[in-house]
Structure 1
Amino acid sequence: MSKLMRAIGLMSGTSLDGIDAAFLETDGEDIVIRGPARTYPYDDGMRRLLLTAIADAGGLISRAERPHALAEAEQALTEYHARAVAQYLADVEIDPAAIDVIGFHGQTVLHRPEARLTVQLGRGDLLAHMTGCPVVYDLRAADVAAGGQGAPLVPVYHRALTAKLPHRPVAVVNIGGVANVTWIGRDGSLIAFDTGPGNAMLDDWMARKTGAYLDAGGATAAQGLADEEIVRRFLSHAYFNAPPPKSLDRNMFSSDLIENLSAEDGAATLAAFTARAIAKAREHMPVEPELWIVAGGGRKNRAIMRMLAEQVHNAVVPAETVEFDGDAMEAEAWAYLAVRSIRELPITYPGTTGVPAPMSGGVHAGPTAYFVR
């Protein structure tokens, strides 16, 4: 048996709400011992800086470019993560010397796999220097360079996490800024892809229309009425009929169609779009899942959960129903992937990203590998 490694996973998703940190003890294969998790929200200044960086990233043609606000955002983001690590270790009373590796997601600002380009802000060398811990980062880049979608990366962790559940096939859905699904067959086979929008469109809509940065609990959507014609138009996009593997940029879909709706009806329409896009993913699954497990911030949106349950045949449950942590699952996955990267185990597969063959990935940085820029 491989020696267990102690890892911290750091996830900063497309919802721009903050940093999820989680501890995992694992061999990178079958053994997964989950530890404490915490969330450290971004302040308004950090969120605004990241939104500016995402806008500035639209013209990037290489991963190394950092024009306009991107360099400032990357520095600030990395420092924010270093403070989050220090706070996390203090909060959960873990000795920093006990950590073997940090899996650092960074902030995705551009994702165009068709151009073999994906850009995650975050300096792994600086984070390693500031925390004193080895860091594995940029886990998507090698897959995209090899012709894969670079997303989703969590399926191999979903398979390990659900291995003891009685339900197969099972679907694990993460509703972050973009929603994705992992279908796990009875034999452990994997199919995974981005299903469509998650929370990002709804979050942006709420910010514009109400000043809030999310629809807490789905309360605004619950007060509105989904515009069925607009939902159908959204779902007529060619993306939904394209076979997986496939992935999405956060800003793939325009909200122009709903601009004349009220805040409530617009929120209901976007919630319906998210839910029905997830349900539509069944068209790409060999067998209907016996159970749908939902993680990510979207599981707290009761409108999305209700709409999804109305669309599929079997139970739809939040991750906590099967004793998983729906807030920490992706951070846990990044800890797991970091260990797999160190051990040169595959993190992506033809069935999850479309990469030609199973492959590992990630860039490794040690505490002494810091370069001033």
Structure 2
Amino acid sequence: MGTPGYYIGLMSGTSMDGIDAALVNIAQERMELLHSISHPWPAPLKNRLQAQASGDTCTLQEYGELDHLCAQEFARAAEALLHATGIPSSMIRAIGSHGQTLYHQPKPPAPFTLQIGDPNVIAERTGITVVADLRRRDMAAGGQGAPLVPAFHQAVFSSPEKNRVILNIGGIANITILPAGGNPVRGFDTGPGNCLMDRWCQKQQGLPYDKDGRWAHQGEANAKLLHTLLQDEYFHASPPKSTGTEYFSLDWLESKLERHPNIPGRNVQASLLALTASTIAFAIQNWAKDTEEVLVCGGGAHNQTLVSALSDRLSPALVATTDSIEGGIQPDWVEAIAFAWLAKQTLDGMPGNLPSATGARHPVILGGIYSAGPVY
């Protein structure tokens, strides 16, 4: 597995429910999670980020301030992780920082993706080399820039006997299709994961998310609304494909609700949960029909109502979490560990993308290296 050592992965997804920080020891063919924490976003900064991520305009001053402030929080997350373990920064080979996505637009003629959290600030503050800006090289090679985790999923979760799908449910849901016996791996974003449910719950209940899907469980999906939601062209497009919360936003939802007024809030929530479950199941049944195991990670793994809905739709395939198999990983930390692994790939001069997932013309070494360097 290249050069062994300690690596830190930093990940904040489109749900913005915190910065996940994972300290990983990667040695030969073994990967060990040593410690992990979730560093909360300060509420004022989170509010500013959410305001920008759901809109189409951002002043240069606001962009610059957010880039710096996010970097400070990513650095604090890494520092808190090291403080909890007692491991000095000098023992860390690199930090793999995903950054915070503000906008993801992979369509021609000018595809781009924007993650902020200045890696120069992180490297300077922590004294650790940082690998960041991990999506744009894949886009330069004709890819979607997402999903990037399938290469890691292949390295960690593939089985010679089982046809598996790794399902990550963050703000956006994505799948990695891992056929048994090393056949070609595919992956793509299926559509909204938690993002619409979170935003609707915030608007209606004043809560950041629907814990365990309890509010959705109290409601009943509205068949007409669900039918309207499912007509969106994204769900019927062929992979490779990727999307973001700038597309599946509260504005997107409210434009659909205009056609279906006076639906009780809990029934809208139940419909959104059904949308997430239905589009994930549709993607798996259409592109991985021989799937035997669906291993779930991300925040959505804790939504029991959603997991139950997926189990119903995907039966007889087993639906379980990524820590349910031998050598598995606790579902909250899969993506953070993946970005530690991607940092290692970059430092070792190895590609980190999977063209069969992103649509890139060829494998590429991802990101830029921001060396901690000596202090003069």
Task: Return the offset for 1:98.
Answer: 0.9
Instruction: Look up the match of 2:112.
Output: 117
Please state if 1:47 is matched with 2:46.
Answer: yes
Q: Distance in 2 between matches of 1:202 and 1:136?
A: 32
Q: 1:224 to 1:368 in 2, by over 3 A?
A: same
Which of 69, 74, 80 is equivalent to 1:87?
Answer: 80
Contact 1:74–1:121 (CA<8 Å) still a contact in 2?
yes
3-state DSSP of counterpart to 1:321: coil
Q: Distance in 1 between matches of 2:114 and 2:338?
A: 19
Please state if 1:145 is matched with 2:140.
Answer: yes
Q: Distance in 1 between matches of 2:63 and 2:263?
A: 33
Please state if 1:230 is matched with 2:225.
Answer: yes
Instruction: Report Cα offsets for 1:86-133 as digits up to 9, x if no partner.
Output: 111111222211100000011001101113210001111110000000
Please state if 1:307 is matched with 2:309.
Answer: yes
- TM-score, normalised to structure 2, is 0.91
Q: Distance in 2 between matches of 1:26 and 1:42?
A: 28
User: How many percent of aligned residue pairs carry the same amino acid?
Assistant: 34
Please state if 1:337 is matched with 2:342.
Answer: yes
Question: One-letter code of the match for 1:307?
Answer: A
Which of 265, 268, 274 is equivalent to 2:276?
Answer: 274
Instruction: Look up the match of 2:11.
Output: 11
3-state DSSP of counterpart to 2:372: coil
3-state DSSP of counterpart to 1:100: strand
Question: Structure 1: 5+ residue runs without aligned partners?
Answer: 61-65
Task: Return the offset for 1:294.
Answer: 0.4
Please state if 1:180 is matched with 2:174.
Answer: yes
Question: One-letter code of the match for 1:318?
Answer: T
Task: Return the offset for 1:284.
Answer: 4.1
Q: Distance in 1 between matches of 2:352 and 2:310?
A: 29
Q: 1:200 to 1:43 in 2, by over 3 A?
A: same
Question: One-letter code of the match for 1:20?
Answer: D
Q: Distance in 1 between matches of 2:358 and 2:3?
A: 29
3-state DSSP of counterpart to 2:60: coil
Q: Distance in 1 between matches of 2:280 and 2:157?
A: 20
Task: Return the offset for 1:25.
Answer: 2.1
Please state if 1:318 is matched with 2:311.
Answer: no
Task: Return the offset for 1:85.
Answer: 1.0
Q: Distance in 2 between matches of 1:180 and 1:135?
A: 26
Counterparts of residues 1-373 of structure 1 (less than 5 Å): 2-26=2-26, 30-55=29-54, 58-59=56-57, 67-114=60-107, 115-163=110-158, 165=159, 167-188=161-182, 189-253=184-248, 254-256=252-254, 257-258=256-257, 260-313=262-315, 314-322=317-325, 323-368=328-373
Contact 1:118–1:140 (CA<8 Å) still a contact in 2?
yes
Task: Return the offset for 1:227.
Answer: 1.1
Contact 1:243–1:284 (CA<8 Å) still a contact in 2?
no
Compare 355-364 and 100-109 and name the one that shifted more: 355-364
Q: Distance in 1 between matches of 2:264 and 2:39?
A: 32
Q: Distance in 1 between matches of 2:2 and 2:168?
A: 29
Task: Return the offset for 1:287.
Answer: 4.0
Contact 1:169–1:287 (CA<8 Å) still a contact in 2?
no
Contact 1:129–1:369 (CA<8 Å) still a contact in 2?
no
Question: One-letter code of the match for 2:253?
Answer: S
Task: Return the offset for 1:38.
Answer: 1.2
Q: Distance in 1 between matches of 2:236 and 2:30?
A: 37
Aligned residue pairs, count: 362
Q: Distance in 2 between matches of 1:332 and 1:362?
A: 16
Task: Return the offset for 1:341.
Answer: 1.0
- TM-score, normalised to structure 1, is 0.92
Q: Distance in 2 between matches of 1:80 and 1:87?
A: 10
Q: Distance in 2 between matches of 1:246 and 1:344?
A: 26
Q: Distance in 1 between matches of 2:71 and 2:374?
A: 15
Question: One-letter code of the match for 2:342?
Answer: L
Question: Structure 2: 5+ residue runs without aligned partners?
Answer: none
Task: Return the offset for 1:59.
Answer: 4.1
Contact 1:32–1:160 (CA<8 Å) still a contact in 2?
no
Task: Return the offset for 1:33.
Answer: 2.4
Q: Distance in 2 between matches of 1:354 and 1:5?
A: 31
Task: Return the offset for 1:262.
Answer: 2.3
Contact 1:10–1:334 (CA<8 Å) still a contact in 2?
yes
Task: Return the offset for 1:168.
Answer: 2.1
Q: 1:276 to 1:286 in 2, by over 3 A?
A: closer
Q: Distance in 1 between matches of 2:369 and 2:38?
A: 24
Contact 1:82–1:130 (CA<8 Å) still a contact in 2?
yes
3-state DSSP of counterpart to 1:328: helix
